[in-house]
């Protein structure tokens, strides 16, 4: 069936181009101030997602039919310095990327349909769908990425759109504040991903995964790196994974992300975004095979996350936080499984978990009715459990209620010294400029923020 195989590049391009088209159309129409109507946005969204999904499914079908397990789709180099460096845009279709891309399409397509109803007449309808398009694009690029630079692009798009979606209700103070927290966590972990890319270039002269990780199809690749190199690159990547997948110690951002509208929290944090880290681990799994130490780090991190999330989740009193910690438990387990050397199990686990959790998130507001139905069926009030071991119960309860103090630890031992150091620098600079200008040197110090009474609130 050579004809069919020749179709693959074209299909591959459709998979990537569909969300790109959506992003470009929605983005440009918003930029030039001609927002599409709700109806055309919805239709366009449906059409592009369905196209991309069909193409991805077709690729899966062909791959299964012709037993082709690794299809690279190079789109050319962006930068080439012969013999030293090249920066190529390349996508890879294999047993890891295609299922993940299909999952992304199915879930984001369903959520897109949901959101087009749910956000009907919402002032930010257009903004939501622009960010949604960027998100889908980011997911598809990261899942199909064949080089670390391509992956980084998608990774950044996902991070950017997620943070902006958390800050969707920008007129209230809490969403932007929480979005900023998430943004900072993302930036810090992205810096680590970037470092990893630099290191990979340094080691191999390029960021292509097949050069770094060996060119046999996933998951049977074998990397020719030294174990120490693998450990170093792997740790950098693990840090990036921890940020993206809300592993310990970054877990605190996940409930903070619940500020956006329900569909965005469902798809981004319950289902897709939070699994991206685990996906990256699967992608670089040959590195794990090289370094048992790295594997043990992964296992420990995964288990810690699962335990923290389980304990924190069991005392959460709002449904979205409870669900987000429940998600995190499974992400932790998936990461653990990867650390233990499993490959297909975590992939299947990931796919199943994403679907289940999306359904639960989407149905979250209906919880009251669900509880009533359950109570009526059971015939009594639903039972309530208690945490942990009697002796440490109270201590543990507080620890869980405060989500393992993870956010506090980060603020007190990381953010606070950091901010203080820079404030100190600022203070020195101010002294210096004041000295130079013989008096207060900053006009901005004098300006008070205008605050209006109720009279002006109109």
Partner 1 sequence: MFESRELRTQQPDAESDRGSALDLLSETIEHASHLLPAQGPITVFIHHNTLHAFEKLSFGQAVKEAAHVFGCHPYLSEDQYRDALRRGRIRFGHLQEVLERDLEGRTDTPVPCFGTRLKLQLAMLEDPQRTGPAEELVWHVAEEDALRRIRPEVSAVVRARLIAETRRWVMRDLRGGSDPGNGDQQRSNLRASANAPQSLKELLERFDSDIENWSDNEWEGFTLHALWRVCCEGVRDLPAFIASPPPPIRHRDLLLEATGADADLLVNGLLIRFVAAFVDQGLASSEMPLRDEGFLGAFCTIYSQPFGSPDRWMNGLAQDLGRLQDRRISALESVRESLQLLGVPPDDWRKFISATFLPLRGWGGMLHQIEQRGDRAVRPVPAGSLVEFLAVRLLLDKYAAAHVARNELKFVGPLKELRESLRARFDGPARPSVEQRAFQVFRLAQVSGFSPDVLCRLPADEWSTIVREIESFGGLERRRIFHLAYERRFTEQALDAVSIHSQQHRGRTAAPAFQVSCCLDEREESFRRHLEEIDPRIETFGAAGFYSVAMYYRGAADAHFTPLCPVVVRPQHWVTEEVADDQAQLHHWRAKTRRALGEATHRLHRGSRTIASGTLLSGFVGVLATFPLVARILFPRVAARIRRRLAHIVEPPTDTRLLMERCEATTGPENGHIGYTVDEMTATAERLLRDMGLTSNFARLVLLLGHGSESLNNPYNSAYNCGACGGSAGGPNARAMAQIMNDPRIRDGLAQRGLVLPTETVFVGGMHNTCNETVVFYDRDKIPPSHQQEFQDARTAIETACDRNAHERCRRFMSAPLTLSLQEARRHVEERSEDLAQTRPELGHATNAITIVGRREWTRGLFLDRRAFLTSYDPTQDDAECSILTRILQAVFPVCSGINLEYYFSRVDNYGYGSGTKLPHNLASLVGVMDGAASDLRTGLPWQMVEIHEPVRSLFIIETTPAAMINIMDRNEGIGRLCRNGWVQLAVLHPESRHISVFHDSDFELYEPQATTLPQAASSVDWYRGWRDHLEFSQIGSGSEVSQLPPSP
Q: In the complex, what is the shortest distance from the CB of residue 112 to partner 1, in angstroms, rounded to a whole number? A: 10
Kindly give, in sequence order, each residue whose CB lies less than 8 Å from that of residue 83, ignoring residues fewer than 6 positions away: 205
Shortest separation between residue 360's beta carbon and partner 1, angstroms: 7
State the nearest-atom distance from the C-beta of 404 to partner 1, in Å: 10
Torsions phi, psi of 19, nearest 5?
A: -70, -30
Establish if 428 lies at the interface with partner 1 (CB under 8 A). Answer: no
111 and 266 Cβ atoms separated by less than 8 Å: yes
CB of 312 to partner 1, least distance (A): 11
Nearer to partner 1, 117 or 433 (CB): 117
Q: CB under 8 Å to 58, separation ≥6 — which residues?
A: 7, 11
Residue whose entry in the numeric block shows the structure tokens 């996508």: 91
Burial 192-220, CB ≥16 within 10 A → b, else e: bbbbbbebbbebeebbbbbbbbbeebbbe
Contact map string, positions 50 to 89, toward partner 1, x by CB under 8 A: ----------------------------------------
Shortest gap between Cβ of 15 and partner 1 (angstroms)? 19
Q: Per-residue x/- marks for partner 1, 317-336, CB under 8 A?
A: xxxxxxxxxx--xx--x---
Among 373, 414, 422, 426, binds partner 1 (CB under 8 A): 373
Instruction: Show contacts with partner 1 in window 392-411 (CB under 8 A).
Output: 393-395, 397-398, 401-402, 405, 408-409, 411
Residue 322: phi, psi to the nearest 5? -60, -45
Query: Does residue 376 belong to the site contacting partner 1 (CB under 8 A)?
Result: yes
Angstrom distance (rounded) from CA 422 to CA 327? 36
Q: Going by C-beta distance under 8 Å and a sequence separation of 6 or more, which residues neighbour residue 162?
A: 135, 182, 186, 257, 268, 269, 273
Q: Which of 1, 382, 389, 436 binds partner 1 (CB under 8 A)?
A: 382
Crossing angle of the two packed helices 174-204 and 227-244, in degrees rounded to 10:
160
Instruction: Indicate which single residue of 106, 134, 200, 236 sits in contact with partner 1 (rule: CB under 8 A).
Output: 106
Residue closer to partner 1, measured from CB, 222 or 395: 395
**In terms of Cα–Cα distance, which of 180, 185, 103, 168 is closest to 132?**
168
What is the per-residue binding string for partner 1 in 236-275, x denoting contact by CB under 8 A?
A: -------------------xx-xxxxxx------------
Q: Provide the 10 A C-beta neighbour count for residue 157.
A: 23
- Residue numbers 174-213 binding partner 1 by CB under 8 A: 174-175, 178
Beta bridge partners of 85: 81
Give strand pairing partners of 206.
86
Contact call for residue 444 and partner 1 (CB under 8 A): no
Return the structure tokens found at 372: 């009533």
User: Using the rule CB under 8 A, is 427 a contact of partner 1?
Assistant: no
- Classified as helix, coil or strand, 346 is helix
Minimum distance between the CB of residue 344 and partner 1, rounded to whole angstroms?
Answer: 11
Q: How far apart are CA 341 and CA 324, in angstroms?
A: 26
In the region spanning residues 339 to 368, those forming contacts with partner 1, defined by CB under 8 A, are: 345, 348-349, 351-360, 362-368
> Does residue 314 contact residue 386 with C-beta atoms inside 8 Å?
no
Stretch that binds partner 1, among 19-27, 77-85, 288-296, 387-395 (CB under 8 A): 387-395
Least separation in angstroms between CB 351 and partner 1: 6
Binding residues for partner 1 restricted to 272-311, rule: CB under 8 A: 306-307, 310
Report if residue 160 touches partner 1, rule: CB under 8 A. Answer: no
Q: Which of 28, 31, 47, 378 binds partner 1 (CB under 8 A)?
A: 378
Residue 202 or 393: the one with the smaller Cβ distance to partner 1 is 393
Which burial class, exposed, middle or buried, applies to 161 when counting CB atoms under 10 A from its CB (0-12, 13-18, 19+)? Answer: buried
Minimum CB distance to partner 1, residue 99 (Å): 10
Least gap, CB of 317 to partner 1 (angstroms):
4
d(CA 167, CA 429): 33
């Amino acid at each position: 069936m050579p004809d069919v195989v020749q179709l693959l590049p074209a299909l591959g391009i459709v998979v990537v181009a569909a969300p790109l088209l959506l992003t470009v159309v929605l983005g440009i129409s918003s930029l030039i101030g001609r927002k599409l109507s709700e109806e055309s946005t919805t239709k366009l969204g449906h059409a592009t997602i369905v196209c991309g999904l069909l193409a991805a499914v077709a690729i899966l079908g062909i791959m299964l039919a012709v037993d082709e397990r690794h299809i690279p789709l190079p789109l050319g180099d962006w930068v080439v310095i012969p013999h030293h460096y090249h920066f190529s845009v390349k996508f890879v279709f294999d047993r890891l990327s295609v299922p993940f891309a299909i999952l992304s399409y199915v879930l984001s397509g369903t959520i897109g349909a949901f959101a087009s109803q749910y956000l009907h007449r919402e002032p930010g309808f257009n903004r939501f769908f622009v960010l949604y398009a960027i998100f889908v694009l980011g997911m598809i690029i990261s899942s199909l990425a064949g080089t670390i630079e391509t992956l980084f692009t998608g990774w950044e798009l996902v991070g950017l759109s997620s943070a902006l979606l958390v800050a969707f209700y920008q007129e209230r103070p809490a969403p932007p504040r929480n979005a900023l927290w998430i943004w900072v966590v993302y930036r810090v972990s992205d810096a680590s991903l970037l470092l990893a890319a630099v290191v990979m270039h340094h080691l191999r002269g390029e960021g292509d995964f097949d050069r770094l990780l060996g060119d046999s199809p996933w998951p049977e690749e074998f990397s020719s790196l030294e174990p120490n190199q693998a450990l170093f690159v792997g740790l950098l990547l693990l840090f990036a994974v921890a940020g993206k997948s809300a592993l310990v110690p970054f877990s605190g951002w996940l409930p903070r992300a619940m500020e956006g509208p329900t569909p965005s929290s469902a798809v981004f944090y319950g289902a897709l975004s939070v699994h991206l880290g685990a996906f990256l681990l699967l992608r670089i799994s040959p590195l794990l095979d090289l370094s048992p130490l790295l594997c043990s780090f992964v296992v420990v991190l995964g288990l810690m996350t699962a335990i923290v999330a389980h304990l924190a989740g069991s005392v959460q009193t709002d449904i979205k936080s409870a669900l987000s910690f429940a998600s995190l438990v499974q992400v932790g387990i998936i990461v653990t499984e990867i650390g233990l050397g499993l490959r297909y199990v975590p992939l299947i686990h990931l796919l199943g978990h994403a679907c289940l959790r999306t359904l639960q998130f989407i149905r979250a507001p209906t919880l009251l009715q669900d509880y009533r139905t359950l109570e009526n069926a059971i015939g009594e009030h639903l039972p309530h459990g208690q945490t942990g071991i009697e002796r440490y119960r109270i201590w543990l309860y507080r620890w869980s209620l405060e989500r393992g103090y993870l956010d506090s630890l980060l603020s007190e031992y990381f953010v606070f010294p950091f901010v203080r150091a820079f404030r100190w620098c600022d203070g020195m600079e101010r002294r210096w400029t004041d000295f130079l200008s013989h008096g207060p040197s900053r006009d901005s110090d004098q300006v008070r923020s205008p605050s209006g009474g109720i009279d002006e609130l109109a």
